Structures are given as structure tokens and as C-alpha cells.
Amino acid sequence: MDLELLIGIFPQVLIDGITLGFMYALIALGYTMVYGVLEFINFAHSEIFIVGAFVGVELLLGMKAWGWLEALPWVIVLVLILVAGMAVSGVLAVIVERTAYRPLRDAPRLIPLISAIGVSFFLQDAIRLFESLWRNAFNLVYPTMEVLNTRFEISSTIDVSLKSLVVVAAALLMLWGLYSLVNRTKVGKAIRAVAEDQSAASLMGINVNRIISLTFLIGGAMGGGAGVLFGVQYSLINPYTGFIPGLKAFTAAVLGGIGNIPGAMLGGLVLGLLEAFAASYLSLLTGGAFGAEYKDILAFSILILILIFRPKGLLGEVVRERA
């Protein structure tokens, strides 16, 4: 065990963890907001997330073909694809809600859950179908924007790429935007009201259905933005890439306290860091016996442990009063 090595890679692993964590946080927001107002796990959110990534890559490839990619400053390009991804994902989430969840709102809990799983599966192959017809390939690669790969030296052994900084910055912006929306606007107050007590909220004159749709829109947009960032960070996507990160993000939401927005952010960060550390250190610590391949079950094990020992999560659940 090379202690110097272990300490040496610490900062880099920290950075990796934070980048990953913010991505999980963004996705987790979608889960937690929907759970907050409906007490319902939107299984299809992982596909909403990856749709954003696909929108981003299609737009980037289009821009490359039209020559815009070189012509525009990278900030503009990034903003464009983020907005596009968020818009499409948000709208998709609303469509899904209207068609597959709203008719089942009064059914026993099992029913909409199964419907959500169905939507998730359907969307995976729908994306594949679309991409097969449109581009005859569904494993897509994000065109490289060289400028994002410039590295900044923080010290002799640590350097950060512009890409990571951009991803974290974008995530922070989105999180701050969401926080302001939920806590400082009237709409946000309506959402919180519906989350707390649906019937009371409707008595207060709030159009519950509209607010629910809006929640899906915002949650979906967050997921879509996360998708674009994911594509930018890791380059290669396919229609099935969304599933595992979606699952982990849900774990993060539960970890932080389901329904609790700051909880989702915290949960995402914690999970991202844990995963990065496990992946990088596990094989070093066990001498190769257990390696990075176990990082996925780490998330699930955490889920199980949390649900057994602290089901309310780190910051406590925010779910509505049971009538």
C-alpha cells in the first residue's frame, strides 16, 4: 500500500467526485420534486435525463455540420445545447405525466409505478428507434470541443480541466435557479403547498393539476440539463446509458431525504464522492482483489442501508400529510 500514492490522488478523486456528484444532484432533483408532490417515483426520469443528452448531441452534430461549432464561442454553444436539452426533456416529462400517470392517479400505488417502469422501457427503445432511422447509429459521440480540454494547474500534481469546471459551474447555476424558483417565487410557493397538502392547496385556489405538470416540467428540465452535461463530460451515450445513473440518482434523493430539495443536492454530492472514492481506492486498498467494478453496487448497498437505518434520509423527508 503506497501511502504517498493514496494521498497523492486524493485531490483528483475529490474533483472527480464533485463533478459526478453535481450531475447526480441534478438528476435527483427530478425524482425528489415529483415525489414531493405526488409521492410517486417517476421511473421514467432516467430516460428523460438521457433524452436531454441525445438532444445535446444531435444539436452539436448539427452545429458541426453547419459550421457553427467553430464560428460561435464555446459559451454560447454550451448555453444553446443546455437550453435545448432542458426544454425538450421538460416537455417530454409533461407529456409522459399527462398520458401515462394522470389517468392512474387514483389507482392503488402499484399501478402507476408499473406504468412508470413501462414508460421507461418504452422510451429507451423509442430513442433507439428514432436514432436508428435518423442516423443509423445509436451509440453517439459528443463532438469534442477542444477548448474544454485545457487544463489548469493548481499545483504540481493536481490539475483541473476546464470541462469539469464548466460542468460544476453549470450545475451550480441550475441548482441556484431552482432554489430561487422554489423558495422565492409565487409559483414555487404553490409547488410547496401542493407538496404539503394537495386538498388544502386546491382549496386555496391553486390549480393542482397545473402545478403538478409544472413540477414535472421543472424536474424534467433539470434532468435534461444533467443529460447534456453528462454527454459533454463523458462523450459516449446510448439509449440505455440513463438507467444506472437514474437509479443512483434516486438513491441520492433518498439519501438526502426524499421530497427535500436541498436534501437531493446533498445526497447527490455525497453519493458522487463516495462512488469516486470507492472506484479509485478500492483496488489500491485491497491489492486488486476488489476493484472499480463494485462501485455500482456501492450505491445500492447504501440505498439498502439508509432505508433500514435512517429511512428519513440525511436531511429528513418532506412528504405530504397523510389525509
Partner 1 sequence: MIGRLLDRPRPATIIAIAALGGSAWAVAHAPRSILLFMLFQGSILLLYFARLPRRLKMLLTVAALGVLMPVLGTINAYYMEIAIQVGIFVALALGLNIVVGLAGLLDLGYVAFFAVGAYSWAIFGSPQANLIFGGDRFPLSPWWFFAFLGVGVAVAACAGILLGLPVLRLHGDYLALVTLGFGEVIRVLANNLDKPLNITNGPKGITPIGRPPIFFAPLLRAVGIEPNPNIIYPLYLYALVLLIVGVTILVNRRLEDSHIGRAWEAIREDQTAAQAMGVPLVRMKLLAFACGASFAGAVGVLFSAKQIFINPESFTFMESIGVLAMIILGGMGSIPGAILGATVVTVLNLQVLKGFSLWLNGLRNAGTVILGYDLSNLPTQLEPAKYERMIFGLILVLMMIFRPQGILPTRRRTRELGGS
Partner 2 sequence: MRKLRTRHVLSALAASVLLVGVTLPVAHPVAAQSKGTIKIASQSPLSGGQAALGEGIKLGAQLAVDKMKGGLEKMGYKVEFVPFDDQAKPDVGVANAKNIIADKDIMAVIGHLNSGVAIPSSEVYKEVGVVMISPANTNPVVTDRGYPNVNRVCGRDDVQGVVGSEFAHGTMKVKSAYIVHDKTQYGQSIAEFFKADAEKKGVKILGFEGTEEKSNFDPILTPIKAKNPDVIYFGGIYDQGAPFFKQAREKGIKSKFMGPDGMDSSDLTKIAGKAVVGMNYTSAAGPASALPKAKTFVEEFKKKFGKNPEPYAAEAYDATVIAIKAIEETAKKGKVSREDVATAVRKAKLSGITGDIAFNSIGDRQKAQYFVLTVASDDPAKWGDNKIVKQLTIAPPEPKK
What does the binding site for partner 1 look like in residue numbers (CB under 8 A)?
Answer: 39-41, 100, 103-104, 107, 109-115, 117-126, 128-129, 132-133, 136-138, 243, 247, 250-251, 254, 288-290, 293-294, 296-297, 299-301, 303-304, 307-308, 311
**Nearer of residues 39 and 159 to partner 2, judged by Cβ:** 159
Residues 250-279 that bind partner 2 (CB under 8 A): 275-276, 278-279
Write down the least CB distance from residue 278 to partner 2, Å.
8
Containing 141, the helix (H) or strand (E) segment is strand 140-141
Contacts of 56 (CB under 8 A, 6+ apart): 81, 82, 84, 85, 142, 227, 228, 231, 232
Residues 100-139 that bind partner 2 (CB under 8 A): 103, 137, 139
Grid cell in block for residue 104: 392512474
Q: Letter for the amino acid at 88?
A: V
Write down the least CB distance from residue 204 to partner 1, Å.
28
Residues 135-154 that bind partner 2 (CB under 8 A): 137, 139, 141, 144, 149, 151
Size of the site for partner 2 (CB under 8 A): 39
* Half-sphere exposure for 42 (CA within 13 Å, toward CB): 40
Position among 185, 207, 235, 286 found at the interface with partner 2 (CB under 8 A): 235
Burial class (CB in 10 A: 0-12, 13-18, 19+), 4: exposed
Residue 149 site contact among partner 2, partner 1, none (CB < 5 to 8 Å, cut-off depends on kind):
partner 2
Write down the least CB distance from residue 133 to partner 1, Å.
6
Q: In a 3-state reduction of DSSP, which class is residue 313? A: coil
Write down the least CB distance from residue 230 to partner 2, Å.
8
* Half-sphere exposure for 86 (CA within 13 Å, toward CB): 19
**Nearer of residues 234 and 300 to partner 2, judged by Cβ:** 234
Grid cell in block for residue 175: 441548482
